[in-house]
Chains A and B, each alone.
Chain A
Amino acid sequence: MNHRITLLFAFYSALVLFMHAPAHAQTMVRIDGSSTVYPIIEAVAEEFQAKREHRGIKVTVGISGTGGGFKKFVRGEIDISNASRPILVNELLEARQNGIEFIELPVAFDALTVVVNPRNDFVTQITVDELRKMWEPAAQGKVMRWNQVNPSWPDENLNLYGAGSDSGTFDYFTEAVNGKAKSSRGDFTASEDDNTLVQGVSRDRLAIGYFGYAYYAENKDKLKALAIVNPATGKAVYPSEAAVKDGTYAPMSRPAFIYVNKKSLEKSEVRRFVEFLLKEGAPLVEEVKYVPLPAEAYEKALDRVRKLETGTAFGGHNIAGLHIDEIFSRPLSNDVSDSPR
């Protein structure tokens, strides 16, 4: 018995000593950010790591939300930040302060989808104005019933489900609807976890919520998507790949980005990952229910990587209602621009 205890003790001491041995860095691609972009990157990471020539390269993908991802990105903690909106002024400034340069790469398009419960029989389409009445900060504690938004709707409770504050979906939606990112009422079920929203809306007849198209597509039997009235044409358009491609699903179609730390591109594993994504990602994007960019757009993106063209095309502003063809035509800049356009 005593011998065993002594042995155990010796083993333990040896272990403690070992823990002071220096640790070596691993070959690792660190990615974090948007839960909207997550399914794309997860698919790419899975395929990437399955390839034999990438043996030994490890990829981690976190889901901190676009804002959360950028917070880590501008501190240089991660190589790639997933984003469902462009980088914003304060993130841009902080990146510059920390000497972080980045390459902005649009990788897909998404249709931000407004959903209600399938048992909801009184609404099939909605205007941006109506959405604003529901979601603006002034509505907090006041707009609590459906008929307050539109008198033709019934006098029943209005239950709101929306993206959490660290999510780019939240930023994009508030920008498109309320005209200012993060400006929103606070009394709604807010979650970074899109399943919370899907579960919430699918079990609540009087609910309305919004999230990325992929999460709707996976739950079409439990949710009903609303057509969004395009403010330019006045026509109500349902979210679909075609409507995103021809630009009629506005202002709710939006690009999904990755931001790559320029310094990380010097690591071959990161460079290889990015190139793999841009070369072989399109079918994966489609598989996970996003709209891939046109082939020439991925070529242009590869070009950006090869030429190490840093900067953002959006000047630190969130831009709603961007057309899919516009995405590479805008000039890049490392500076903050005064106006959004």
Chain B
Amino acid sequence: MATLTDAHISGIARRRRIDLCFAVAGAVVLTLALGVLVALVTNLAKDGAARLGWDFLTSFPSRRAGDAGVKSAIVGTALVMFVTACTAIPLGIAAGLYLEEYARKNWFTAIVEINIANLAGVPSIIWGLMALGLFVYWMNLGRSILTAGLTLGLLVLPIVIVATREAVRAIPQIIREASYACGATRLQTVWHHILPYSLSGIITGSIIALSRAIGETAPLITIGALTYIAFLPPPPFGERPWHYDVESRATFDTAQRTQPLEDVSRDISGSHDSPTPSLRDGEITFAWRLDPGTPITQSRLSLPLSSGSMSLSDLVSAIDADENLAATISRAGRLRITADAPGEDPGEFCITNDTTGLIEAFSIAPGGGRYGATDWIMSEFTVLPIQMFNWVSRPDSRFQVNAAATGLVLLTLTLMMNGIAIWLRYRLRRSISW
């Protein structure tokens, strides 16, 4: 048996030292990495915290950095995330359940598995290209909330699938066997046991997936979402603000035209400076003819249109009260006024105040009525990361402050979502023991 020499002892001491060194080194590297996170947050906070306030969250973007806010971006983010969730979560759960509970070990399953692993690694910019080629041009969905939501939904689909599979895999086989022993079908087993037991794991995965989607910028730039948007998408069933609209239905014949359009508007509104849409109280002259050359019929209407707040149905009954005019609301929410010409069919409504020629066809549109439940989904939009990128791109350094503040909002959202997910996972680990 060998004896311990001094060399051995010093060797042990040396190895102990190395061991300690590495322990310290590891801690240092980890601290550095987390330090970057802290530096990033403080840097953003230093630049942007002063700007962050209720005003910032509830204002639209503006050319003045001090007035600009992220209202449209926050609403856009929420709506896009909603579509993303509706795409990724059901599809992801279903696919995950199939792969864990149903799939047989065959070539198809193998392909699907490799495929999902690959999809998880496809760079986000490539998803943007797919969306541009497939959704924007091929399916003609435009640069809408739907396109963005679908794109991001597919992008995070693999995350949901993997989370589902892991949650399902953690359920012991014995549960399934017990269920089958009671005579349950596979569907019943999945529906009554597998799905409920794995739900928290799935929810955790879904939250992580959404937190990834919320910060994605590149695929949305590719579909062309970098736009100044200072409005919100139409709310479902929301009242459509209506205003009078002068449309040139008839041929726009300059030879026959004797009055500029704005004068016509003035006749409707009685005010030159704000021609439409809010008609002031007072009298309005509707005058029309069916064709140039036929006599003009006139009707005078007194409408109590103070501040434009008259309801559409009141307007309809006011117009209907006139013996020559009839008003209807089309399914699209468009108010259409038709005029009876004696002895002829009701014609396209025209308004004119001169006796020589046809000027303008006229309808009240497209305000009034209500938006459909899903009009918003085809609306143009902006989201937080895009708004941030937009402001980062501004040469005016005051916008950098806005960019930092937006980053802060975005960071808060993602960290919060991740925090919730981590907390859920932690609770889950403690509460479930098979």
**B125 interface contact, C-beta 8 A:** no
Query: Cα distance A28–B379 when bound, in Å?
Result: 10
Contact between chains at B228 and A45 (CB < 8 Å)? yes
Contact between chains at B254 and A61 (CB < 8 Å)? no
The B354-402 residues at the A interface (CB cut-off 8 A) are 366-367, 371-375, 377-380, 392-397
Interface centre among B146, B227, B244 (most CB of A within 10 A): B227
Contact between chains at A195 and B394 (CB < 8 Å)? yes
Contact between chains at A195 and B392 (CB < 8 Å)? yes
**B407 interface contact, C-beta 8 A:** no
Interface 0/1 of B287-315, CB less than 8 Å to A:
00000000000000000000010000000
Pick from A18-26, A172-180, A228-236, A333-341 the stretch touching chain B: A18-26
Contact between chains at B228 and A42 (CB < 8 Å)? yes
Query: Cα distance A198–B399 when bound, in Å?
Result: 14
Assess A306 versus B260: contact at CB under 8 Å? Given A5-B196, A42-B228.
yes
Contact between chains at A307 and B254 (CB < 8 Å)? yes
Query: Cα distance A26–B303 when bound, in Å?
Result: 26
Query: Cα distance A18–B262 when bound, in Å?
Result: 40
Q: Which secondary structure characterizes the binding site on chain B?
A: loop
Query: Cα distance A21–B373 when bound, in Å?
Result: 8
A26, A51, A195, A275: the one contacting B234 at CB < 8 Å is A26
The A56-85 residues at the B interface (CB cut-off 8 A) are 56-64
Assess A288 versus B252: contact at CB under 8 Å? Given A23-B372, A27-B366, A45-B228.
no
Assess A219 versus B374: contact at CB under 8 Å? Given A12-B90, A56-B240, A60-B229.
no
Nearest-CB distance from B404 to chain A (Å)?
A: 14
Query: Number of B residues contacting the other chain (C-beta, 8 Å)?
Result: 58
Query: Cα distance A219–B394 when bound, in Å?
Result: 11
Which residue from chain B places its CB closest to the CB of A61 in the assembled complex?
B228
A12, A26, A42, A193: the one contacting B63 at CB < 8 Å is A42
B260 contacts across to A, CB distance below 8 A: 306
Contact between chains at B227 and A62 (CB < 8 Å)? yes
**B332 interface contact, C-beta 8 A:** yes
The B237-261 residues at the A interface (CB cut-off 8 A) are 240-248, 252, 254, 260-261
B243, B275, B375: the one contacting A26 at CB < 8 Å is B375
Which residue from chain B places its CB closest to the CB of A23 in the assembled complex?
B378
A193 contacts across to B, CB distance below 8 A: 393
Query: Cα distance A25–B377 when bound, in Å?
Result: 12
Enumerate 23 A-B pairs (CB-CB under 8 Å) in ascending A order: A2-B192, A5-B196, A21-B374, A23-B374, A43-B63, A46-B62, A52-B278, A53-B276, A55-B241, A55-B243, A59-B231, A60-B228, A197-B395, A215-B395, A218-B395, A218-B397, A219-B395, A266-B247, A266-B252, A267-B247, A268-B247, A275-B262, A306-B262
Known: A5-B195, A269-B245. 20 other contacts (CB 8 A): A2-B196, A21-B374, A22-B372, A23-B374, A23-B378, A26-B375, A28-B380, A53-B308, A54-B277, A59-B228, A60-B380, A61-B228, A63-B227, A64-B224, A193-B393, A198-B395, A218-B397, A266-B248, A266-B252, A306-B260
Footprint of B on A, CB under 8 Å? Answer: 1-2, 5, 12, 15-16, 18-19, 21-28, 32, 38-39, 42-43, 45-46, 49, 51-64, 193-198, 215, 218-219, 266-269, 271-272, 275, 288, 306-308
